[in-house]
Amino acid sequence: GAVVSQHPSWVICKSGTSVKIECRSLDFQATTMFWYRQFPKQSLMLMATSNEGSKATYEQGVEKDKFLINHASLTLSTLTVTSAHPEDSSFYICSASKDYPVGEQYFGPGTRLTVT
């Protein structure tokens, strides 16, 4: 159990357009989902934490108007990159957390976004 999927796995878009990435927990209910981005050869940087039915909590330096997060159900969270620019090109990874044990997250396979 504890499978998390992401869609799409990769996307190429033009500068100025918006892109939506979906994160689903397939076999468990995730009250909390997390969104990370990773630049080449760097660590995973937490962007935001989302709890089902409430507003996401963004990390310092992350623009909430640019990275819109919606956690509409216990199995689905979406990240929308609005008005994407080339510097938004990155690997975006989501994770989902069960209630117990606290601290254990299950990660999706990631989405490679390239903005041209």
Partner 1 sequence: DQQVKQNSPSLSVQEGRISILNCDYTNSMFDYFLWYKKYPAEGPTFLISISSIKDKNEDGRFTVFLNKSAKHLSLHIVPSQPGDSAVYFCAASARETSGSRLTFGEGTQLTVNP
Residues that bind partner 1 (CB under 8 A): 4, 6, 32, 34, 41-46, 49, 91, 93, 95, 97, 101-110, 112
User: Do 78 and 69 form a contact (C-beta atoms < 8 A)?
Assistant: yes
Judged by CB, which is closer to partner 1: 96, or 115?
96
Closest by Cα among 26, 28, 29, 33 to 92: 33
With a CB cutoff of 8 Å and minimum separation 6, the contacts of 44 are 36, 37, 38, 93
Least distance from partner 1 to the Cβ atom of residue 17, Å: 23
Judged by CB, which is closer to partner 1: 89, or 105?
105
Judged by CB, which is closer to partner 1: 18, or 42?
42
Judged by CB, which is closer to partner 1: 5, or 83?
5
Which amino acid is it at 39?
A: F
Least distance from partner 1 to the Cβ atom of residue 43, Å: 5
Least distance from partner 1 to the Cβ atom of residue 78, Å: 17
Q: Per-residue DSSP letters for 42-103?
A: S-EEEEEEEETTSPPEEPTT--TTTEEEEEEETTEEEEEE-S--GGG-EEEEEEEE-SSSTT
Least distance from partner 1 to the Cβ atom of residue 83, Å: 25
